[in-house]
Amino acid sequence: MKFIISSTLLLKNLQAILGVINTNNTLPILDDFHFELTEDSLTITASDLETTMRATITPDKSEETGSIAIPAKILVDTLKTFPDIPIAFSINPVTLMIEISAGEGKYKLSGHKSEEYPRTPLQEDTTALTLDARMMAQAVNKTLFATGNDELRLVLSGVFCELSPDDVTFVATDAHKLVRYKRTDLRSEESASFILPKKPLNLLKNILFSQEVPLSMEYNKTNAFFTFSNIHLICRLIDGKYPNYDAVIPKENPNKLTIDRVALLTTIRRVSIFANQSTHQIRFKVSGQELVLSAEDIDFSNEARERLTCSYDGEDMEIGFNSKFLLEMLNNIETEEVRLEMSAPNRAGILTPVNSDNKDEDILMLVMPVMLNK
């Protein structure tokens, strides 16, 4: 098995799929890339059993087709040191020795049998959907931060996708905060719903932001398959029933506060420095057209208070929120102004963008209140 390829091209594609490989694998073979050479293409695979990523590239020259598993770390670390030069791989199928020739250098390492590498799931009985890569990256970016980390509630650790003939909805929650991201410019012929895990979505998001290509998505009962440019990602869906997120969104919120997003964001950032570092509690006191934000940490005698002007329609009220959650939400909204809708100090607050440029995008963020210390 022999081939010649550009070091930069190979490194770029290896780095695109490297994130799949875990730092501590139970199976040593999962520390490897799987290389498969055919007459006109080289397919490189990385897998952790749950998620599989493949990159297909064309070598400058190839002969003697075959396959082998190559240790990922040593290969990537070596390629990072090369300028953009052609490098030649020569693999002995009997001894599994890999010889890399680059310029005046020769490097040898030992590979592993390709038969030991996990098999890629087959695309059987799938339903297809074509998305815009940037739009998918946007949807993932705006929801992923709200997913949970509780291993006992695995369904909350992923993003819930709901497809319908009218729109596509992405939902994430950790039971303290919730984000619902809806696109009306995306539709699916069939109604379906499934939960996508966090790790493959992170990998997808990082690559898709730099792409302006169609993204093909296929899914069946167990897996989702994403294909764009020369990359193919397969992930196992999270098994379980997602909670009825619509039931927790309060429908009647008579108290509406509209405020400049950046002003609110920077004020919360400042005031929260003085909050209790375990609860991150920040107090909202709103009356008339004035919002007073305050925080205190009794243990260290720290205290902060700041006043902002706002547009407020409703009764005077005092409510507490976790400042970390609010900062994450405000960072994921892009409009100049935001609206915070509330009904009572013990009911969830609803944060939405005001005057969004994108009429096809509908974002709703929910944050649970925290009990205020009197």
Rounded CA separation 41/58 (Å): 5
Q: Sorting pLDDT into bands at 50, 70 and 90, what band is 208?
A: confident
249-367: CATH architecture: Roll (3.10)
Q: Per-residue pLDDT tens for 53-88?
A: 999 999 999 998 999 999 999 999 999 999 999 999
Give Cα separations from 302 to 281, 294, 305 (angstroms). 13, 11, 11
pLDDT tens digits along 146-199: 999 988 899 999 999 999 999 999 999 999 999 999 999 888 888 999 999 999
Chain-wide mean pLDDT for the chain? 93
Question: H or E stretch including 103?
Answer: none
Token pair 């730099």 is at which residue?
A: 210
Q: Which residue has the tokens 């009572």?
A: 344
Quote the DSSP letter at residue 266: H
Mind listing the pLDDT tens digit for each residue in 252-307?
999 999 999 999 999 999 999 999 999 999 999 999 999 999 999 988 999 999 99
Domain boundaries, the chain: 2-116, 127-246, 249-367
Judged against a pLDDT cut of 80, whether residue 212 lies above it is answered with: no
2-116, CATH topology level: DNA Polymerase III; Chain A, domain 2 (3.10.150)
Name the strand (E) or helix (H) holding 354: strand 349-354
Indicate whether 219 pLDDT > 90. Answer: yes
Q: 8: exposed, middle or buried (C-beta count within 10 Å: 0-12, 13-18, 19+)?
A: middle
Instruction: Work out the percent of the chain whose per-residue pLDDT is above 70.
Output: 99
Per-residue model confidence as pLDDT tens digits over 185-197: 888 888 999 999 9
Answer whether 154's CB lies under 8 Å from 185's CB.
Answer: no
Q: Can you give the C-alpha Rg of the chain in angstroms?
A: 25
Percent of the chain with pLDDT over 90: 83
Q: String of b and e for 14-31 (b: at least 16 CB within 10 Å)?
A: bebbbbbbeeeeeeebbb
Token couple for 3:
């081939």
- Inform me whether the pLDDT recorded for 214 exceeds 90: no
Query: How far is the C-alpha of 97 from the C-alpha of 133, rounded, in Å?
Result: 39
Can you list the alpha helix ranges (DSSP code H) found in 33-100? 72-79
Mean per-residue pLDDT, 212-218: 85
As a whole number of angstroms, the distance between CA 52 and CA 235 comes to: 6
* pLDDT band, very low/low/confident/very high, at 359 (cuts 50, 70, 90): confident
Question: pLDDT at position 374, please?
Answer: 60
Sign, CA torsion 274/337/136/175: positive
pLDDT computed for residue 152 by the predictor: 84
> Per-residue pLDDT averaged across 35-48, rounded?
95
Whether the pLDDT of residue 239 is over 90: the answer is yes
The yes or no reply on domain 127-246 and CATH 3.10.150.10 is yes
Both tokens of residue 98? 């890999």
